Amino acid sequence: MHIKITDSETGNNKGGSGALVHYLDKEQRLLENLQPEQWFNGSSQNIPSNAVRRSLDNNIAKLSRDDAKFFLINISPSQKEITFLKEQYGDDAKAQFKAYAEKVMDEYAKNFNRPGIESNRDLMWFAKLENHRYYSHKDKEVQNGTKKRGERKPGEQMHIQVIVSRKDITNKVKLSPMNKSRGKNVEHSRKLGQFDRALFINSGEKLFDQTFGFDRKLEETFEYAKTQKNGNLKERMVMREEKARYQEQKQQQQSRQRPKEKAKQKESYLRREPKTNYLEKEQPAKAYLPAPQPTNYLAIALGHTGPDVAPSVSRKKKRRRINDRSQDQELTP
């Protein structure tokens, strides 16, 4: 998660906000077929551009000509984080991202540690969701001639730009995120306020992880990158040790989860397997020819034969004797 506070995208925040508001409306002019994104804040989701400009330019009580009138906050998730949001929420990903931006502005307000400045509703701010990024003259691709200024950058580029007024919603309290006081000098902080930009960026990153359940690796955190870039040798060594412990804990968690996952897979497999009742009587197979009758060999041996069984030898002899006797009687005068 990349969160950055600047004076203005156009380089001037000491005058009116018209140029910046016009610049952030660029997608409405460049992408005619795209449903235009409207300005929003914690109170409304459909704010006209002229209302944004008028509200910011009228909220500058007791600010001199050289004072900053507003600041720009860029909330840019990585392509990995954008892909995660779209996989989790689908078409509702933009609405979820806007709701997250409101929570980021809550953290912005709390970071000033000022009485009465406790949430985004105590601020005057307006945000715009942008779907794409475009090459500018600062990009290396434009400088070496491989890309032209104004061309759309590839990949997932959804981000939110927030214009926040220097004064609070009541137009009475000055609030500057460029104030380098971190509260160590109590009198200075009470008079001019305080703001810890590193703490604000870190809180926005943790807020994303907690809100959406995003599993961020230690080396992907703002704190890790900051330590590797600006930390001393001792701080970098501590961070490396913490990274090693983090990786070890991850491996232990995965090893504990594997048996559970295997058990779930086995259980689901057993549930899908059809139940077979082996006690049920099997249905006889269909017979297209009559089954042969079994031969009763005992009956044949005893001479008890049926109509389809050949007579025994003894019966044949008896019949032959009877026939012979009848012939003899016929021949006798």
DSSP conformation letters of 90-103: GGGHHHHHHHHHHH
Exposed, middle or buried: residue 91 (CB in 10 Å: 0-12, 13-18, 19+)? exposed
Two tokens, residue 181: 């006081």
**What is the pLDDT at residue 292?**
64
A 10 A CB-CB count for 127 gives: 25
pLDDT at 40 over 80: yes
> pLDDT at position 78, please?
93
Q: According to the model, what pLDDT value does residue 243 have?
A: 75
Confidence class of residue 21 from pLDDT cuts 50, 70 and 90? very high
Given a cut of 60, whether residue 280 has pLDDT beyond it is: no
Most confident of 56-65, 279-288, 303-312, 323-332: 56-65
> With DSSP H G I counted as helix, E B as strand and the rest as coil, what are the percentages for the chain, rounded to 5?
50, 10, 40
Phi and psi at residue 76, to the nearest 5°:
-125, 105
Contact 207, 103 (CB under 8 A): yes
Q: Give the relative orientation of helices 93-111 and 79-89 as an angle to the nearest 10 degrees.
A: 120
Tokens representing 165 are 């007024």
Q: Which runs of consecutive H residues, i.e. helices, occur in the chain?
A: 18-24, 26-30, 49-57, 79-89, 93-111, 140-143, 186-192, 197-212, 222-230, 233-272, 297-302, 313-331
pLDDT digits (tens, 9 = 90+) for 49-62: 999 999 999 999 99
Q: What is the pLDDT of residue 182?
A: 60
| Per-residue pLDDT at 322 | 64
Question: What's the whole-number average pLDDT of the chain?
Answer: 81
Cα distance between residue 73 and residue 162, in whole Å: 5
Distance CA 99, CA 43 (A): 11
Position 123 confidence tier, pLDDT thresholds 50, 70, 90: very high
Residue 285: the pLDDT is 53
Task: Give me the pLDDT at residue 253, please.
Answer: 72
- Could you give the angle at the alpha carbon of 86 between the alpha carbons of 82 and 89, nearest 5°? 130
pLDDT digits (tens, 9 = 90+) for 133-157: 888 888 999 999 899 988 889 988 9
| Residues 214-267 pLDDT 10s | 998 888 888 888 888 877 877 777 777 777 777 777 777 777 776 766 677 767
User: Could you tell me the pTM of the whole model?
Assistant: 0.70
The rounded percent of the chain whose pLDDT value lies above 90 is 44
Q: Please check the confidence at residue 171 and state whether its pLDDT lies above 90.
A: yes
Token pair 């160590």 in the structure block, residue: 184
Kindly give, in sequence order, each residue whose CB lies less than 8 Å from that of residue 328, ignoring residues fewer than 6 positions away: none
Segment 112-131 shows an average pLDDT of 94
CA–CA distance, 79 with 99 (Å, rounded to integer)? 19
Residue 230: predicted pLDDT: 79
C-alpha 331/C-alpha 321 separation (Å) is 16
Q: Please list the residues that pair with 165 across neighbouring strands.
A: 70
Burial letters 141-172, b for 16+ CB under 10 A, else e? ebeeeebeeeeeeeebbbbbbbbbbbbbbeee
Q: Measured on CA atoms in the order 11, 12, 17, 19, is the torsion positive or negative?
A: negative
The answer to whether the Cα torsion of 311, 313, 318, 322 is positive or negative is positive
Question: In sequence order, what are the beta bridge partners of 117?
Answer: 114
Q: What pLDDT, on the 0 to 100 scale, is given for residue 218?
A: 84
* Average pLDDT for 110-124: 94
Instruction: Give φ, ψ of 39 to 5 degrees.
Output: -70, 145
pLDDT, one tens digit per residue, over 197-229 is 999 999 999 999 999 999 988 888 888 888 888
Find out whether 246 and 224 touch, Cβ atoms under 8 Å: no
